[in-house]
Chains A and B, each alone.
Chain A
Amino acid sequence: MLQSIVHVCLAGLSQGMFIWLVASGLTLIFGVLGVLNFAHGAFYMLGAYFCYTVLASLGDNFWLGLIFGPLFVCAVGYFVERYFLRYVYHLDLPYQLLLTFAFVLIFDDLVKIVWGAGSIGSPTVPGLGGSVSILGRMFPTYSLFIIAVGPLVALGLWAALERTWAGRVIRAASSDREMAAALGAKVPLIFTGVFVFGTWLGALGGGLAVPYVGLLTPGMGEAVIIEAFVVAVIGGLGSLKGAFLGALIIGLLSSFGTRFLPTFDMFLTFILMALVLLWRPQGFFGEASR
């Protein structure tokens, strides 16, 4: 029993950390730009595909793929923000959401054209491909690696936002666009930068997903983006701390749900989302001023 619970917890943690990697970029972009980015799932997918292509063409080296793959996606993110998203910040919510949704449609099909509509099997990571024995049962090493990477990314983000000058300017621009601009901050540039960085986080999640999910499919971003939405909402839209906690909760909930209540696994996730929205729409750590 203990063995089973520990393993379910570990699976939940790795699932949660994995969702966090994707939700962090989504949350950062919403927190600063105020746009809920549907295309984030597409960036995740592009990250996975670019990572795969780079690693396949550089002699199956996963780490090179993880470093260089997401950079291509950053270029895509720059293009999206600079030439499209920038012009809809002042518009109503439906237009912003639909603009990012349009990119989902476009990227999903572009991936089909470039990489083919079928699934691509992915290689294992040298050194992390095996399993280790925990309480007498095998657990994949790569999942442990993901559990470790999640908090590292969280720590890095926290340090970048709270402890650096650039982070301070970003926080200023996110809390009051006009005042920050009046004080000389180049707000459009900051927005582009944050969007590209958020895109990089999503693409990094996609790159890390390559060995984790095992198969790359053109629709792989869509399942993830909804989980990331749930996490971002539960934590409080725009709150990174909340997203981290929300990801842990959703990861554990779905892991326990799959184990003990398989029929209502998905239902539980969304009922939690609805309950949080009704009881505390600002989420666990969101600002109360809405």
Chain B
Amino acid sequence: MNSKGTHAIYLAIILGLAVLGLVADRFVLYMGMRVMLLAIFAMGYNLLLGRTGLLSFGHGALYATGAYGMALVNLHLTPDPLLGILAGVALATACSLIVGFFCVRHTEIYFAMLTLAFGMMIFSLIWNLRELTGGDDGLVGISRGSVLGLPIAKDGQFYFLVLFFFALTLWLIHRLRGSAFGLILAGIRENNQRTSFAGIPVKSYRLAAFVISGVFAGLAGSLGAMLESNTDPFSAHWSHSAEPILVSLIGGLQTFSGPLVGSVIFVVLREIIQRFTQNWMLWFGVILLAIIMGMRGGVMGGLEKRLKRGPAPAGKGEGS
């Protein structure tokens, strides 16, 4: 598909979401916001996982720093939502710089374990520093206030703030992927050594990818805190990092639209399965198994392949 066509599709998606914001009821609005927040989180995360090939278990913690940074400013300093979001993103950026600085020294399993250790350090701080973070209760009573004089207290109004940041993320990630920077990240994934032989400071690029993904995690976190009007300490737990991983995997790791499509499928599927059974984790595990065993390109990866080659030749596996 050419880039003009792609642009048109994304513009249509954003316009469609805007129309949805005007007509939909509260439940659909809430679902839409959940999808967009997860997509912001996952699109940033996939820059690290799908593009650079690094698996992090620390991004749940970065998401939480965004949420707690936002909440603390909101509760103690100013109810201005933009300043709150700015504070959340700034805190997440600072944390990802520190954590990333140490973690990018390693790759593969050692990187994953280091991010796990740092993420759990942040989790333990959030859990134990009760006076500051509220401990296991989290911080409650976050107000939304108004942006540039426009009130965003109602879900129908807040929706458009989320939509704005979602569109911004979509545009930024799209630009990043296509830039020289994004291509170098893919080069690092494909061949670490060759890329460094080409004179590229691989560690700095890894750090940059880590921090950028951390920024989007923080953005999603601070918006999430506003949506729920509280913070959840368990969002810092390593297992919360599995969410963007699952989402990227469902949609397709190597694709731009993967995390987006994955977020929609994840949120909608969870909603549907929860209607019928308490045990949605079981079904999610089964779906995850099926994806890993059978269609590792994810939904969009499979679709792209099909579009490029025409109908898939019979008897040929998915490959890896």
Which A residues have a C-beta under 8 Å from some C-beta of B?
36, 84, 87-88, 90-95, 97-99, 101-106, 108-110, 112-113, 117, 222, 226, 229-230, 233, 237, 263-267, 270-271, 273-274, 277-278, 281, 290
Interface of A is mostly: helix
- Out of B53, B120, B129, B288, which one reaches A101, CB within 8 Å? B288
- Given A108-B281, A110-B282, are A267 and B121 also a contact pair (CB < 8 Å)? yes
Establish whether residues B117 and A273, one from each chain, have CB atoms under 8 Å apart when the complex forms.
yes
5 A-B pairs closest in CB distance: A105-B285, A109-B282, A266-B124, A106-B285, A102-B288
Please indicate the chain B residues that have their CB under 8 angstroms from the CB of A278 in the complex.
102, 105, 114
B49 contacts partner chain A, Cβ-Cβ < 8 Å? yes
A266 to B286, CA, bound (A): 32
Which chain B residue lies CB-closest to A107? Answer: B285
Establish whether residues B292 and A99, one from each chain, have CB atoms under 8 Å apart when the complex forms.
yes
Establish whether residues A105 and B128, one from each chain, have CB atoms under 8 Å apart when the complex forms.
no
Establish whether residues B121 and A97, one from each chain, have CB atoms under 8 Å apart when the complex forms.
no
A112 to B279, CA, bound (A): 8
- Out of B121, B127, B288, which one reaches A274, CB within 8 Å? B121
Establish whether residues A263 and B129, one from each chain, have CB atoms under 8 Å apart when the complex forms.
yes
Interface of B is mostly: helix
New contact pairs (20) apart from A106-B289, A226-B238, A290-B110, CB-CB < 8 Å: A84-B293, A87-B293, A90-B320, A91-B320, A98-B246, A105-B285, A106-B285, A108-B281, A109-B279, A109-B282, A117-B278, A222-B239, A226-B120, A266-B123, A266-B124, A266-B128, A267-B124, A273-B113, A277-B110, A277-B113
Establish whether residues A281 and B120, one from each chain, have CB atoms under 8 Å apart when the complex forms.
no
A108 to B125, CA, bound (A): 27
B30 contacts partner chain A, Cβ-Cβ < 8 Å? no
Establish whether residues A109 and B114, one from each chain, have CB atoms under 8 Å apart when the complex forms.
no
Which chain B residue lies CB-closest to A113? Answer: B279
Nearest chain B CB to A110 CB, angstrom units: 7
Number of B interface residues, CB 8 Å?
43
6 contacts between A and B (CB under 8 A): A84-B293, A88-B293, A93-B112, A237-B109, A267-B124, A270-B120
A65 to B245, CA, bound (A): 38
B160 contacts partner chain A, Cβ-Cβ < 8 Å? no
Residues 102-142 of B, flagged 1 when their CB comes within 8 A of A and 0 if not, give 10011011101110111011011101110000000000000
A63 to B110, CA, bound (A): 39
- Out of A36, A90, A109, A264, which one reaches B281, CB within 8 Å? A109
Establish whether residues A274 and B110, one from each chain, have CB atoms under 8 Å apart when the complex forms.
no
A264 to B278, CA, bound (A): 35
A273 to B281, CA, bound (A): 29
Residues 229-269 of B, flagged 1 when their CB comes within 8 A of A and 0 if not, give 00000000011001001100100010000000000000000
Establish whether residues B289 and A102, one from each chain, have CB atoms under 8 Å apart when the complex forms.
yes
- Out of A98, A229, A230, A233, which one reaches B249, CB within 8 Å? A98
Scan residues 281-298 of chain B and give those whose CB is less than 8 A from a CB of chain A: 281-282, 284-286, 288-289, 292-293, 296
B55 contacts partner chain A, Cβ-Cβ < 8 Å? yes
Please indicate the chain B residues that have their CB under 8 angstroms from the CB of A290 in the complex.
110
Please indicate the chain B residues that have their CB under 8 angstroms from the CB of A281 in the complex.
106, 110
- Out of A95, A106, A226, which one reaches B286, CB within 8 Å? A106
Nearest chain A CB to B71 CB, angstrom units: 21
Please indicate the chain A residues that have their CB under 8 angstroms from the CB of B108 in the complex.
93
Establish whether residues A274 and B102, one from each chain, have CB atoms under 8 Å apart when the complex forms.
yes
- Given A98-B288, A110-B282, are A270 and B117 also a contact pair (CB < 8 Å)? yes
Find the residue from A87, A271, A277 having the highest chain B CB count within 10 A.
A277
Please indicate the chain A residues that have their CB under 8 angstroms from the CB of B293 in the complex.
84, 87-88, 99
Nearest chain A CB to B248 CB, angstrom units: 9
Which chain B residue lies CB-closest to A35? Answer: B109
A137 to B97, CA, bound (A): 49
Please indicate the chain A residues that have their CB under 8 angstroms from the CB of B53 in the complex.
92
Nearest chain B CB to A229 CB, angstrom units: 7
Please indicate the chain B residues that have their CB under 8 angstroms from the CB of A90 in the complex.
320
Find the residue from A97, A117, A267 having the highest chain B CB count within 10 A.
A267
Please indicate the chain B residues that have their CB under 8 angstroms from the CB of A93 in the complex.
55, 108-109, 112
- Given A88-B292, A93-B109, A112-B279, are A274 and B114 also a contact pair (CB < 8 Å)? yes
Which chain B residue lies CB-closest to A36? Answer: B109
Establish whether residues A105 and B282, one from each chain, have CB atoms under 8 Å apart when the complex forms.
yes
Nearest chain B CB to A81 CB, angstrom units: 14
Please indicate the chain B residues that have their CB under 8 angstroms from the CB of A95 in the complex.
292, 296
Establish whether residues A94 and B289, one from each chain, have CB atoms under 8 Å apart when the complex forms.
no
Establish whether residues A274 and B118, one from each chain, have CB atoms under 8 Å apart when the complex forms.
yes
Please indicate the chain B residues that have their CB under 8 angstroms from the CB of A112 in the complex.
278-279
- Out of B55, B121, B242, which one reaches A271, CB within 8 Å? B121
Establish whether residues A84 and B110, one from each chain, have CB atoms under 8 Å apart when the complex forms.
no
Nearest chain B CB to A103 CB, angstrom units: 7
Nearest chain A CB to B119 CB, angstrom units: 8
A36 to B129, CA, bound (A): 32
A79 to B245, CA, bound (A): 25
Nearest chain B CB to A232 CB, angstrom units: 9
Nearest chain A CB to B94 CB, angstrom units: 17
A91 to B147, CA, bound (A): 48
Establish whether residues B106 and A105, one from each chain, have CB atoms under 8 Å apart when the complex forms.
no
Please indicate the chain A residues that have their CB under 8 angstroms from the CB of B113 in the complex.
229, 233, 273, 277
